[in-house]
Amino acid sequence: MTAEPGRPSPGHPPSSHPMSGHSASGHSASAHPTSGYPTGGRPLPAWNHRAERGNALLSRVMVWLALHLGWRAGRLLLYPITAYFFVAAPMARRASARFLARVLGRPAGAGLVFRHLHGFAAMLLDRAFFLAGRTGDFSLSVTGLAQLDAAIAQGRGVVLLGGHLGSFEALRAFGRTAPVPVRMLMYRANRGAFSQVMERLDPTLGAAVIEIGAPEAMLAVREAILRGEIVGILADRAPEPAARPEGARPEVAPPEMAQPGVGGANAGGAARRVRVPFLGAEADFPAGPFLLAAGLGAPVLLFFGLCTGPRRYELRFEPFATRLDLPRADRAAALRQAVLCYAERLAERARAYPLQWFNFHDLWGPPWEAPADARPSATAATRPVRVAEAGPGE
Amino acid sequence: MSARSATSELEVARLIVQALNLDLAPEAIAPDAPLFGEGLGLDSIDALELALAISREYGLELRSDDARNRQVFASLRSLVAYIDETRAR
């Protein structure tokens, strides 16, 4: 779709921003065998409906705390709340331990896992304040604003790729004062009480979210980009096939409190994954965000909203590609290169802030293989994206 | 196909196959089979590419706020009907 035959940079070299000072752990993140030892290589249940429900419950609690007790009291209550979830949510505990072992290169003790879950709860509490617009006591510093401004000034819209690291809500808080509208492409919790609470907190939320699920979602993204707006996408979570039973209709989105992300947006899209090394082992990333960014032809930056202290956030923008080009002829390789570049930069941030990694989804699980009849009419071989997958026959 | 149909299903099927780089004969796309999810198994990235291709080929813009989108994208036949209808105006 990008018609230009030239080869714009697939990405800039990994960031050289001097941010090592905040490193929450000085451990080297040595490569680690795929087995991930906290669980002995046993396949883990996906971060599934039950976990999402617990997640939603936790979010609701945080919203209530934020609205009724304020930040300080809320923070104090995070300890008993975290303790409860530590005991009651073994899946979250295991997911945390698995990630920490990988990023630290050694088994993570219960204390560190507790701190990780506490950090997650703290992020949700802060998020409630961001959503409620009660950010007066928060400080948000922005790094890389000049690069973002330069990208905006080109008038071609801007695609921001983020990850489940820190709080993407910092981007929306920033968006309130940004020169152009900022929208998030995400799975919106389209049912249930939690989304209603969130919408009440921020009535503009609906407009700021482009909901993945319907075929026209990407048209809405394109229209936003054509208006010169910013579209944020979390690019580190492939759609969960388990949450999308075969033949799922597009509107059967992931459940309550679903985190943003994009792959293909429906059952068929689950197949579009790219497997690249990430923190020492092969991991599945969604191809969708990259294909979309390439199709839109907009400049691409990375963004990270990281908590650097109590009520302190740093929003970082880092140049990624002036234009992501995935030429048809060599699309699989170009796509892999782009995902690899993203994964490296994400890993760099994740190593610096391991306790702010909130993607409790098993990226390193066995390669997901499309059901044989996933695309009954379209043979995989020439689907450029599928070529990038690990399946032997494809 | 009715006589006044300006756009043939085969023509649009070819466009789909070409735009999405499907390894599939255009004739193999069943006119009534769902394009997305089940059936042809396209996803929303495909929808964008397809919308852009249709825009280039027929000069008509598919809009995200069109209430009929779901119906338009339902099948090859409904897509052709939409193109015809829009071009007729």
Q: Cα separations (Å) of B21 from A328, A381, B50?
A: 9, 10, 11
The pLDDT tens digits of the residues spanning A248-294 come to: 333 323 322 233 334 333 333 445 889 999 999 999 999 999 999 99
Amino acid at A350: A
B42 neighbourhood in chain A, CB within 8 Å: 268
Rounded Cα distance, B30 and B71, in Å: 16
Q: Which residue has the tokens 């714009």?
A: A8
A386 neighbourhood in chain B, CB within 8 Å: none
CB contact under 8 A, A250 and B66: no
Distance from CA of A376 to the nearest CA of B (A): 7
DSSP class of A2: -
Phi, then psi, of A229 in degrees rounded to 5: -85, 175
Nearest chain B residue to A370 by CA distance is B41
pLDDT number for residue A240: 53
Contacts of A205 (CB under 8 A, 6+ apart): A131, A198, A199
ipTM of the complex: 0.83
Using a CB–CB cutoff of 8 Å, tell me whether B60 touches chain A.
Answer: no
pLDDT number for residue A230: 96
CA B5 from centroid of its chain's CA atoms: 15
Using a CB–CB cutoff of 8 Å, tell me whether A212 touches chain B.
Answer: yes
CB contact under 8 A, B37 and A266: yes
DSSP class of A46: P
Beta strand A312-321 with A139-143: parallel, antiparallel or unpaired? Answer: parallel
| More confidently predicted of A79 and A265 | A79
Nearest chain B residue to A252 by CA distance is B37
Nearest chain A residue to B45 by CA distance is A264
- Above 70 in pLDDT, residue A92? yes
Using a CB–CB cutoff of 8 Å, tell me whether A381 touches chain B.
Answer: yes
* pLDDT mean over A80-97: 92
pTM, to two decimals: 0.76
Using a CB–CB cutoff of 8 Å, tell me whether A244 touches chain B.
Answer: no
What stretches of chain A show up as alpha helix (H) in DSSP?
A: 49-68, 70-88, 90-104, 110-132, 145-153, 169-175, 193-201, 205-208, 217-226, 288-296, 331-352
Rounded Cα distance, A305 and A314, in Å: 6
CB contact under 8 A, A269 and B45: yes
Shortest CA distance to B70 belongs to which of A219, A33, A92? A219
Using a CB–CB cutoff of 8 Å, tell me whether B46 touches chain A.
Answer: yes
Q: For each of the domains in chain B, give its residue range(s) and CATH number, in order of start.
A: 9-88 (1.10.1200.10)
The pLDDT tens digits of the residues spanning B21-66 come to: 888 899 999 999 988 877 787 888 888 889 989 999 998 888 888 8
Nearest chain A residue to B47 by CA distance is A215
CB atoms within 10 A of CB B64: 18
Measured between CB atoms, which of A215, A263, A379 is closest to B23?
Answer: A379
Rounded Cα distance, A201 and A67, in Å: 10
B39 neighbourhood in chain A, CB within 8 Å: 376-377
Distance from CA of A24 to the nearest CA of B (A): 38
Rounded Cα distance, A303 and A363, in Å: 20
Using a CB–CB cutoff of 8 Å, tell me whether A221 touches chain B.
Answer: yes
Helix axes B76-88, B44-58, angle to 10 degrees: 30
Using a CB–CB cutoff of 8 Å, tell me whether A261 touches chain B.
Answer: no
pLDDT number for residue A49: 55
CB contact under 8 A, B64 and A219: yes
| More confidently predicted of A351 and A360 | A351
DSSP class of A203: T
pLDDT band, residue A28 (cuts 50/70/90) = very low
